Every structure is written in structure tokens, then in C-alpha cells.
Chains A and B, each alone.
Chain A
């Protein structure tokens, strides 16, 4: 079965550079979530989209932005990168209905040097 696809899997950037992470949800899933997970930490919710509109906002820094496109894929844009942005970034998608569980991608590991 198709899963959530994230790219790139690994990314190394310098401070103050920009980075873009991509997420391709499971087909027919209408909701996408972005999470940030630091080493040994629980996932921190960043932002979510439902039917291409932002549905909820968490602890996403102002330097970050995201959107969901007409094909339901989503991109997380990160600018003016800081050392503290180094983390695993997960995308998850959820199908229709209230009680659906989230399906997570394998994550994109961002390292800021």
C-alpha cells in the first residue's frame, strides 16, 4: 500500500540558508500535518492543512511557512536557518472522517551547521 513520502530524507544546510521539505500524502487523504522532533523529544506539532487550507497552527516559527497544493502534496519552507532547527521533520496524512489515525512518513532529517 502507498505510504506517506517525504523528500529529501536527509538535508544539510548552513546557518541562515533556506530549506524546503516536501510531503506526498497517501492518495485520497485530505489532511496533512507537519511535526518537528528534536533528539529524544516528542513530536512538536507545527502546522496542518485540510483541503489545501491551513487548518491549525502550532509552534511553527515565523521563519517557516508551508502550503498544500492542488495535488494535496505539501511543502515546508524554512528560511534563515538556525542551529536549533536541526531535527527530524515528519509529515503525516489522515484520511476522511474524525477518527482516522495519522500515517507518518519516514521523516526528513535536517542538520544545520
Chain B
């Protein structure tokens, strides 16, 4: 079965410190991987995606993510966190196939809290 796991309900870091939000996936075939963030009462905002190519993907607001095929992981990272990075973060995967199944499979979300 296809699935996405975000093992941490919450990640707390101090401002200026590096942050990592973990995501692992299970999908047949080649995955398309995405990270989104959601601020309170707002829509989901796209951060970055991995389709193919370099395993390190750079995205919006200084975030990056590293695709690791052997570990089936796509952890979100930022070298120096800001208080304004505090949000709910979601990892998502879409299975590559030739059909019309374009549905994203979502993780349960990780609350990212950056403390001043």
C-alpha cells in the first residue's frame, strides 16, 4: 500500500538553529515527492518537489529537502530557522504512472515551532 509517514507530531527548534522534518514514503515505482506548509487558517503553500535529478532540492523560503532512495526518505531541512517558519508542514507523494491517477498521498503533518 502506498503511504507517507511523518514520524514527528512536532519539531521544536530555536531560531538560528538548523531544522529537520522527517518524511518517509512507500510507493511502487518512481515517486514524485512534495513538501507543503500551512499557516493557521491558510491554504497549503508549495515549498519544493523532487521529480528526478539532484537528490538535494532547494525550495522556497530557504528550505531544502534531500531525497534518499535507499532509505525512501525525503526530509525537509533548513540551515537556520526563523520564527516565521513556524507552521504545519506536510509531506506528500504521488505515484508515477501512465494513468489518470493524479492523487497525492499526504503525511499526517508535523507542527514546526521555531522559538525566539
Contact = CB atoms under 8 A, between A and B. Distances in A.
Interface string A57-83: 010000000000000000000000000
B103 A101 contact: no
B104 A102 contact: yes
Interface residues of A, number: 26
A102 to B, nearest CB: 7
Interface string A77-113: 0000000000010101010001101111111010000
Contacts of B96: 98
A43 B45 contact: no
A110 to B, nearest CB: 13
A50 B49 contact: no
Interface stretch (B11-19, B69-77, B105-113): B105-113
A50 B32 contact: no
B61 interface: no
